[in-house]
Amino acid sequence: MFTGIVQAVGKLSLHGKRLSVEGYPFLFQINIGDSIAVDGVCLTVAAFRNKGFLADVSEETLRKTTLGEKAATNSKVNLEPALRLSDRLGGHLVSGHIDGLGRVHSIKELPNSWIVGISFEDKSFGKYICEKASVTVDGISLTVAQSSENGMLFYIAVIPHTWENTSLKYLQKEKLVNLEIDIMAKYAEKLLLFKDKEYKDTAHEAISKNWLAQNGWE
């Protein structure tokens, strides 16, 4: 588990069939087998190399995240070691499992912050996005400032500290980003769709007052 509080920005590249992550200050604190969030993707330290580490990565991960493209272009990535039970939870609970990709729709600089718009193609993703809720973008715990009426676009407000100390300052329009939904939202949905220890196909059903009553939520 992670918190979405980025501790360093490193450089991602390819090293044979592995990913190489270089340039972070907490190297002496980690061991082989430890988990590190790289742009929000939980990777396992397989070996140390230069000023970083190597990690194995599956074809599935390369296909469903931005890591493959970023490694091919030696791009900057956000880094966070796994959460200790004694650590402060400064952001929110982050699993390191990417739920989908978003695309940078807009970047607007304001006097005291930046407003970044992120769109996504998966319509089912929109139900998890609501104003003032948490969302993880490239491993960063952020708060949804506003969402569009059609649920396919949301905006995040980024303060100067976060902008300067993460990879957000390297963002460009149309670039893809890794997204992870707030895990609490997914658990809440599962509880609502769970009855008598059996799952029910509710893809065609809307959660309404009548639906809740029929499923024991009175």
Q: What is the pLDDT of residues 154-208, one digit of tens each?
A: 999 999 999 999 999 999 999 999 999 988 888 887 777 775 455 555 555 566 7
pLDDT of residue 56: 94
Query: How long, in residues, is the chain?
Result: 218
pLDDT of residue 218: 64
Q: Which amino acid is at 50?
A: N
User: H/E element holding 53?
Assistant: strand 52-55
- Indicate whether 126 pLDDT > 80: yes
Q: Between vectors from CA 161 to CA 71 and to CA 179, what angle results, nearest 5°?
A: 45
pLDDT of residue 186: 81
Q: Distance (Å, rounded) from C-alpha 128 to C-alpha 133?
A: 9
* Residue 23 contacts residue 52 (beta carbons within 8 Å): yes
Average pLDDT value for residue range 121-150: 88
* Residue 177 contacts residue 102 (beta carbons within 8 Å): yes
Average pLDDT value for residue range 53-66: 93
Q: Which residues, other chains included, contact 29 with Cβ-Cβ below 8 Å and sequence gap of 6+?
A: 81
pLDDT of residue 199: 53
- Please give the domain boundaries of the chain with CATH numbers for all domains: 8-81 (2.40.30.20), 100-185 (2.40.30.20)
Q: Distance (Å, rounded) from C-alpha 143 to C-alpha 131?
A: 8
Q: pTM for the whole thing? A: 0.84
Q: Report residue 103: phi and psi, to 5°.
A: -125, 135
Q: Average per-residue pLDDT in the chain? A: 87
Q: Give residue 114's pLDDT band: very low, low, confident or very high (50, 70, 90).
A: very high
Instruction: Please write the tens of the pLDDT for every residue from 38-52.
Output: 999 999 999 998 789
Q: Report residue 71: phi and psi, to 5°.
A: -65, -35
What is the three-class DSSP state of 190? helix
- Indicate whether 97 pLDDT > 80: yes
Helices (H), ranges, the chain: 59-64, 67-72, 160-164, 183-192, 209-214
Residue ranges of E strands in 110-200: 114-119, 134-137, 140-147, 153-158, 176-181, 194-195, 198-199
Rg of the chain over all Cα atoms, to the nearest angstrom: 19
pLDDT of residue 123: 77
- Indicate whether 71 pLDDT > 80: yes
Q: Which residues, other chains included, contact 27 with Cβ-Cβ below 8 Å and sequence gap of 6+?
A: 48, 51, 52, 53
* Residue 30 contacts residue 81 (beta carbons within 8 Å): yes
Q: Between vectors from CA 210 to CA 205 and to CA 211, what angle results, nearest 5°?
A: 35
- Indicate whether 14 pLDDT > 90: yes
- Indicate whether 150 pLDDT > 70: yes
